[in-house]
Amino acid sequence: MTALEGIQILDLSYQGPGPFCTAILSDLGASVTRINPPPGAGARQAAGESGTREAACSASNRNKRSIFLNLKSEEGRRIFRLMADRTDVIVEGFRPGVVRRLGIDYETVSQTNPGVIYCSVTGYGQDGPYRELPGHDVNYISFAGVLDLIGEPDRPPVIPLNLVADYGAGGMSAAIGILSAIIAREKTGRGQYVDISLTDTTISLLTQVLLDPYLATGNAPRRGEHALSGSYPCYAVYETKDGGFISLGCLEPWLWESLCREIGREEFILYNMTRARVPEEEPKWQEIREHLTQLFLTRTRDEWFEQMRDKNIPIGKVLSLEEVFADPQVLHRGMVMELEHPTEGTVRQAGIAIKLSDTPGRFRSFASLTGEDTDEVLRGLGYTASKIEELRGAGVI
């Protein structure tokens, strides 16, 4: 048994947060059907797999079915409403107003399925002056104040891939919102609308570390000056002899003390994260950083890690992706799955991150090729083979 076994989800979302949200839920047991516009339907293609190898290696679309459906056609919308009447959750990532114009919005669907949970994932939310503004992760983290804080002082901001708004904030928040609505439905018997803004959810990531202190004191942190941005030598990245890098995370005084004693510089112990950095002491901070910079250049990355890993020192190897998938901790935690594909042989996928003791998530099927399950789904709705071919000829599927 899986945690979300029996939960039916229709996924209308495109690349990024929506598919990531439904990937989390499908790994936990939900039955997800991706709805993609047919080729040539004049719409953007949703994220999907067009080749067998791509599908075999796809963790984001495993455990999901995929159908073609032209929602710009009346018959396509009728098929969608038939599916929607039988589903628990709908996820969409169109701009605000699009699903209403198509007649597949929450208000319409909930009339015949009052228990449906309908999640919209957009850049700025369903209302407000920016609701119609197009964008991507870099834009949302800009408006949320995150991009301005990442990088070194007196240099341009550094773009942190699209991990913050799309995945860390938006996709996970959408999954949390849907799961919360499922729990609420158990109490009320009603579904509800879940409005996820990537900008809103990115702002929420700032609260404990940055936003709360700013709102309390009025002192806004500046790029590269926050304690967790690398401005302190005890929480930073250092190059090693072999051109690799190690990360230090000695935030607590006792962890910093462990490092200082290990390298034989007990006089540095006093200069931990709890000590205020005042201008007259800046030369000492620079001395500590320079000493660590030169010290770590004397040995390789792996040598430093092996020396310090058992000394109560938070040290990490900065791994490449190739190294991540060979790391003993990653392998032990099952974050690399080796699976046997019927035509592609042994393939690897990222593992399931959420570990549940009684109802663990599991791999059930490889990702479908885009549109591969169209006929099967329509047969389940009562369509005959001749009708399916008619719909295909008309460009509905």
Residues with catalytic function = 136, 166
Question: Contact, 362 vs 385, CB < 8 A?
Answer: no
Pairing of strands 64-68, 31-36: parallel
DSSP-derived 3-state class of residue 248: strand
Token readout for 165 is 């708004």
Token readout for 146 is 């995150």
Token readout for 181 is 């609505």
DSSP conformation letters of 184-215: HHHHHS---EEEEEHHHHHHHHTIIIIIHHHH
Q: Which residues, including other chains, have CB under 8 Å from residue 155's CB and lie 6 or more apart?
A: 223, 224
What is the distance between the alpha carbons of residues 18 and 90, in angstroms, rounded to a whole number?
10
Question: Contact, 172 vs 178, CB < 8 A?
Answer: no
List the alpha helices (DSSP H) in the chain.
Answer: 17-27, 52-56, 74-84, 98-102, 106-112, 137-143, 172-188, 198-205, 212-217, 253-262, 282-296, 301-308, 321-324, 328-332, 374-380, 385-393
Strand partners, 193: 118
At 355, the amino acid letter reads: K
Q: Which residues, including other chains, have CB under 8 Å from residue 120's CB and lie 6 or more apart?
A: 92, 93, 94, 96, 99, 106, 126, 193, 194, 195, 196
Question: Contact, 89 vs 117, CB < 8 A?
Answer: yes
b/e 300-321 (16+ beta carbons within 10 angstroms → b) = bbeebbeebeeeebbbebeeee
